[in-house]
Structure 1
């Protein structure tokens, strides 16, 4: 039994195991957070964290220096639909120019699919925006999960993983992937700071976004293996 387990682990690459773990953890976390979102009253976890971003007794005044509010608005725009569309379009056009249509299609499906999934989840849960503190930006859509958090996770993790495939050295790969994760985290934090999402909305967006990005990567990996291609994509037509 032990030898069989070792043989299985040797045949399955570590990134594949890690992707599977991320998907499982993301789905579990999202399911747990749905219970919080469907509760009739806000969870203490949500209210305490949201109020921590406001001055004591002043729900209209965010903490920190005056420039921080503007910085958070700039950061939150990195997860907006307009910015994501511009970035993804530029990447897809570049991939088409260097004759990597399959990779371009992968990026499109991953990001567009993530946006569609986010909209469906919002409609299914139907959680209104928080009213505990003032909104520092205008938002009209539903709250759970955070679309900005989910879309930034899908977009920047997908692009980060794609870039890491072509970068030399482990250090540069780790740097790019860490930058993608950091950007995703900052976008999510900005949503709570600006008062337009409960913390559980953002956590759910991260869970769903990470799981979807890893599922797309795992599907692409399996497709390449099925076609007998190398996982790094070097055999794609046009190289």
Structure 2
């Protein structure tokens, strides 16, 4: 029996989910390019960045003394080093399982996402926020947020791929929920640290989700062809 039917995911429901969420992500990104990258929300975004700082010292974030360290740790979850090590570790594990197509899917998703981030940043070349001091060092362009986008690409691709390797629906939902939670934390940390405008993060999430869903479609097609190996029962 087909693994999707056994898990309660018909091909129609999967396709509908992909089209709805993927289409919404693409439209959101297009809107953010049209309005956000052009600076239409700049005044409101600057006010938010200021509100996230200590009123007596703009060089300090709001909250308890340990908050800045927590935010730096969270933003590290979307760093190139962490995402690269995560991808290598997962690809290595899949190779040990001889899940060659799955390993190739993860590598292609992460690699393609990285190329896409560089291209988008070069295309828009939006300067970083300057209304508050940065609490982290960054040198690349601001739009879209690379940390937010690559976190979306890597963690959500891994989530949906892991969902192909289990049967129970609640396990699939758990993987996706954890992926979305981590992605959200990374994006929030970027705004808190003052290195991105909120629209940068929203654009990063939108583009990353769209790319991850493309990889989801590939994973579905591969499993239909029995190319993505599922673990034996028992």
Equivalent position of 1:80 in the other structure:
79
Equivalent position of 1:153 in the other structure:
152
Distance 2:39 2:97 in 1: 52
Change (3 A) 1:27 1:105: same
Task: Establish whether residue 94 from structure 1 lines up as the match of residue 104 from structure 2.
Answer: no
Equivalent position of 2:196 in the other structure:
197
- Does the 8 Å CA contact 1:150/1:206 hold for their aligned counterparts? yes
Deviation, 1:12, is: 4.4
* Deviation beyond 6 Å, 4+ runs, structure 1: none
Equivalent position of 1:4 in the other structure:
none
Distance 2:71 2:109 in 1: 26
- Does the 8 Å CA contact 1:88/1:108 hold for their aligned counterparts? yes
- Does the 8 Å CA contact 1:37/1:125 hold for their aligned counterparts? no
Deviation, 1:40, is: 5.4
Distance 1:130 1:148 in 2: 16
Change (3 A) 1:224 1:172: closer
- Does the 8 Å CA contact 1:37/1:127 hold for their aligned counterparts? no
SS of the aligned residue for 2:90 comes to helix
Deviation, 1:221, is: 2.4
SS of the aligned residue for 1:197 comes to coil
Deviation, 1:58, is: 3.7
Question: How many pairs were matched up?
Answer: 223
Equivalent position of 2:6 in the other structure:
none
Task: Establish whether residue 28 from structure 1 lines up as the match of residue 34 from structure 2.
Answer: no
SS of the aligned residue for 1:129 comes to coil
**Can you give the 5+ residue segments of structure 1 that lack an aligned partner in the other structure?**
1-9
Equivalent position of 1:126 in the other structure:
125
Change (3 A) 1:160 1:220: closer
TM-score by length of 2: 0.88
Task: Establish whether residue 185 from structure 1 lines up as the match of residue 175 from structure 2.
Answer: no
1:168-183 equivalence runs, <5 A: 168-183=167-182
Change (3 A) 1:217 1:14: same
Equivalent position of 2:142 in the other structure:
143
Distance 2:200 2:13 in 1: 30
SS of the aligned residue for 1:59 comes to strand
Equivalent position of 2:5 in the other structure:
none
Deviation, 1:35, is: 2.4
How large is the Cα RMSD of the aligned pairs?
2.1
Distance 1:63 1:138 in 2: 19
Equivalent position of 2:60 in the other structure:
61
Deviation, 1:49, is: 2.3
**Can you give the 5+ residue segments of structure 2 that lack an aligned partner in the other structure?**
1-8
Moved more, 179-188 or 33-42: 33-42
Equivalent position of 2:214 in the other structure:
215
